[in-house]
Every structure is written in C-alpha cells, then in structure tokens.
Amino acid sequence: MKVAQEAKSAAVVINAGARLGAAGPALAVDQLRSAGLPISSVHHVLSGAELAGVLDQVVADGHDLVVVGGGDGTVSFAAGRLAGTGTVLGVLPLGTANDLARTLEIPSDLAGACAALAGGKVVDIDMGRANGQPFLNVASVGLSVGVTETLSPRLKRYLGPLAYGVAAVRAYARHRPFRARLEFPDGDHETLELENLLQVAVGNGRHYGGGNAVSPTAGIDDHLLDIYAIPGAPLREHIRIARMLKDGSFVERSGVYHLTCQRVRLVTEPPMPVNLDGEIATTTPADFTIERNAVHVVVPHGSTVARFDG
C-alpha cells in the first residue's frame, strides 16, 4: 500500500481517555468513511492493557490500515504493536502535545487530520526502543520526568499545550542534579561521564514536549538517535536554553552535549525513571536502539518528512 485509499480494510482504535478522545470520534469516523476509507470496525479503549488486546485483534483480523486516535503515548504504543506486521498506521491527534503529528506534518484539528489521512501517502519511519519499550519521539530522564509527573489530566484539560510550560516551572523548582554515563556499544563515541545534569534525552523523531525540537537536524527517518545532555547551570542560562528549545538550537550552546548514534546505554546514579513519549515506562540503566523503517504510517500527501522504502 502506497496511499491510504488503497487500503482494503481499516479499523479505528480510539483512546477514550485522551484529552480529546471523548470529543468528536464519531464525526471523525464518518468523515473517514465519507472520504472513501473502508472502515469496518471501531474500538474505544480506556486502558493500556485493553489497547494491547484490541491492537493484536485488529491485526489478526487482517486489517491493513489501523487508525489510532490518542496522544503520543498511545500512538507510540500502537506503533510498537504494529511494527513488523505490515499493517499501516494512521494517526488522529487527540492528545495534548501531539508531537508525532507535528513531526509528520499532520494537521492538529480533527477535520484537517481526517482529510490528510484519507488523502495521504504511506511512508516508513524509524522507531526507538528503550529496554525493548517503543518510542517515536523522545526518551528522557531528569527534568522531563518531573514534568510528566506534574502534568495532571485536569491541568492538560484546562490549559492544553500550555500545561507543559506550567509543569516545567514546577518540576524545575523541585529538580535534583544527577550523574550519568553514556556508553556506546558500537565504539563510535568514547564513553561520557557526566555530572550535575538537568536532563538527558534520546530522540528518534524531531518534536517533543509540546513543540520543542530535539536538534536542528533531527529526523524521524534518518536512522539515527539524537542524544543531548543539559548540565546544571545558573537559572539565567537555563532560561536562555529554554528560549532555544523550539528550533533545537540549544544543542549548540557551550556545555550542552549533543551527538548521534544507533545504540547507546545510559547509566545514572541513582537509577532513574525513563519517560517515553510522555509515559514513564522503564528505568535506568537503559539500552537505546533504533529500528530502521520499522513503522508504515500515513502522512499528508505533500509531506517531506519521510519516504516509502518498502
């Protein structure tokens, strides 16, 4: 399948617990059907365990297109279940940040996303894994975990993407510096011993955290992990870095570590939780890998973020 219109059978899976999961899914399904997509089953889920079972079932039922509505965590989990099956993923951005949709140039409004999906093309994107757990955007330790722990459903519901800024300020006030070691099994970099850190991130895609960029050159089909480490610094320096997050140019600041690779092992003192696309899913030590062209996904016809390699 090279375009969504070639799908023979499609299923829609909606995370009803997502920020926008309760608003408009029925209308979205109607729009997709009206656009010619052969949607034969629709599922609403409320938990991760339920989501896994539904995804496995729709793949077993032979659907060649599965449209997933939810936030970045939901879509990344779905991508992990669909990877290697040959099933194409469609994305309806129903979460708060919707950073994968931003990376793939999928419109943020539901009507626009449906139109882009119905008329879209299929491309291949890479998938990252941390201790075997999938992520599409970014995996991180440090401040971002504090942000995730601070983000409440109520805060996201009332503030939308602005909730990330509020949560970041609160998490920064409570942050404690940590030590980390970056090991490179392929020998492409020397081991790094780092102290007094604010955050370490391993990026597969381009965007995370409500529109921030991993680096100016990060891409979701470049077959590389982008790694950065931000050290502790005076507040004024962190404010300067925060102002450069949108385009990723903060990685060029003196003192910020930035490199690319295909495999890296992260060890921290003490062991720390790891945030995968907004979900705390594993802990350090963590082994990060990249799976090339792991996921077939529908993007707008004019998107240039990735290509179809088969």
Q: In angstroms, how far is CA 270 from the centroid of its own chain?
A: 26
Q: What is the mean pLDDT of residues 155-159?
A: 66
pLDDT (tens digit per residue) in 87-97: 999 999 988 88
End-to-end alpha carbon distance in the chain: 9
Give the pLDDT confidence score for residue 93 in this predicted structure.
92
Indicate the class that CATH gives domain 4-126+293-299.
alpha beta
What does the alpha-carbon distance between residue 257 and residue 192 come to, in Å, rounded to a whole number?
10
**Which pTM value belongs to this model?**
0.90
Q: What is the mean pLDDT of residues 153-160?
A: 67
Q: What is the largest CA-CA distance in the chain?
A: 57
Q: What is the DSSP string of 31-86?
A: HHHHTT--EEEEEEE-SHHHHHHHHHHHHHTT-SEEEEEE-HHHHHHHHHHHTTS-
Q: What is the CATH number of domain 133-292?
A: 2.60.200.40
Give the pLDDT confidence score for residue 159 in this predicted structure.
67
Q: What is the mean pLDDT of residues 225-245?
A: 90
Q: What percent of the chain has pLDDT over 70?
A: 93
What does the alpha-carbon distance between residue 257 and residue 269 come to, in Å, rounded to a whole number?
18
Q: Is the pLDDT of residue 21 over 60?
A: no
Domain boundaries, the chain: 4-126+293-299, 133-292
Q: Higher-confidence residue: 163 or 210?
A: 210
What does the alpha-carbon distance between residue 297 and residue 216 come to, in Å, rounded to a whole number?
23
pLDDT (tens digit per residue) in 194-222: 999 999 999 999 998 888 999 999 999 99
Residue 87's SS3 state is coil
pLDDT (tens digit per residue) in 30-78: 888 888 899 999 999 987 778 999 999 999 999 999 999 999 999 999 9
To the nearest 10°, the Cα dihedral for 40, 44, 47, 52? 0
What does the alpha-carbon distance between residue 224 and residue 261 come to, in Å, rounded to a whole number?
6
Give the pLDDT confidence score for residue 242 in this predicted structure.
86
Beta pairing class for 192-203 and 178-183:
antiparallel
* pLDDT band at residue 227 using 50, 70 and 90 as cut-offs: very high
Average pLDDT taken over every residue of the chain:
90
- Could you tell me if 67 and 117 are in contact, meaning their C-beta atoms sit under 8 angstroms apart? yes
Give the pLDDT confidence score for residue 152 in this predicted structure.
66
Q: What percent of the chain has pLDDT over 90?
A: 67
Q: What is the mean pLDDT of residues 284-291?
A: 98
Q: Is the pLDDT of residue 157 over 70?
A: no
Of the candidates 148, 199, 192, 203, the residue with the CA atom closest to the CA atom of residue 178: 199
What does the alpha-carbon distance between residue 268 and residue 200 come to, in Å, rounded to a whole number?
10
Q: Is the pLDDT of residue 272 over 60?
A: yes
- DSSP-derived letter for residue 232 is P
* pLDDT band at residue 163 using 50, 70 and 90 as cut-offs: confident
* pLDDT band at residue 19 using 50, 70 and 90 as cut-offs: low
Of the candidates 20, 254, 306, 274, the residue with the CA atom closest to the CA atom of residue 134: 274
pLDDT (tens digit per residue) in 98-126: 999 999 999 988 889 999 999 999 999 99
Q: Is the pLDDT of residue 165 over 60?
A: yes
Q: Is the dihedral of CA 24, 81, 47, 54 positive or negative?
A: positive
* pLDDT band at residue 29 using 50, 70 and 90 as cut-offs: confident
